Amino acid sequence: HVQLVESGGGSVQAGGSLRLSCASSRSTYSSYSMGWFRQAPGKEREGVASIITDIESTYYADSVKGRFTISQDNAKHTLYLQMNSLKPEDTAMYYCAAAIYGRDRWWSANAYDYWGQGTQVTVS
């Protein structure tokens, strides 16, 4: 079992930056991949970014490419999401997720086994 706790959300003006953190109860390498998802009110949860932990291959949604960066610090058991040039449409609850083994479609919530409780990001 993996416990995930997100932090770092908040309110920011458009064009600003935030860094989200996800503290894991186990080494990030114990998961095949980890990802960030977001869900805005009335919308489905969508994949934002993912990383295959042992080889550090990264994947991004088109809407955030060039603005967001996913990374990990295995020594700290922590996953990060650096978000720059934030836009109002980035406003959502952001969730961290971990997949124990590899599956297709990194952007699908069904590809992950464990989830955090979320951290709110509001861009105005």
* Rg, C-alpha atoms of the chain: 13
Under 8 Å CB-to-CB from 104, ≥6 apart: which residues?
111
- Considering Cα of 60, then 108, then 115, then 9, what sign does the dihedral take? positive
Yes or no: say if 79 and 22 are a contact pair by the CB < 8 Å rule: yes
Q: Enumerate the H helices of 12-107 as residue ranges.
A: none
The predicted structure's pLDDT at residue 4: 97
In this prediction, residue 33 has a pLDDT band, given cuts at 50, 70 and 90, of very high
User: Over the chain, what is the mean pLDDT?
Assistant: 95
The predicted structure's pLDDT at residue 40: 96
The predicted structure's pLDDT at residue 1: 87
Q: Enumerate the H helices of 1-124 as residue ranges.
A: none
Whether 62 shows a pLDDT value over 90: the answer reads yes
Q: What is the DSSP letter of 54?
A: T
The predicted structure's pLDDT at residue 12: 98
Closest CA to 16 of 106, 110, 83: 83
pLDDT tens-digit series, residues 70-120 = 999 999 999 999 999 999 999 999 999 999 988 889 999 999 999 999 999
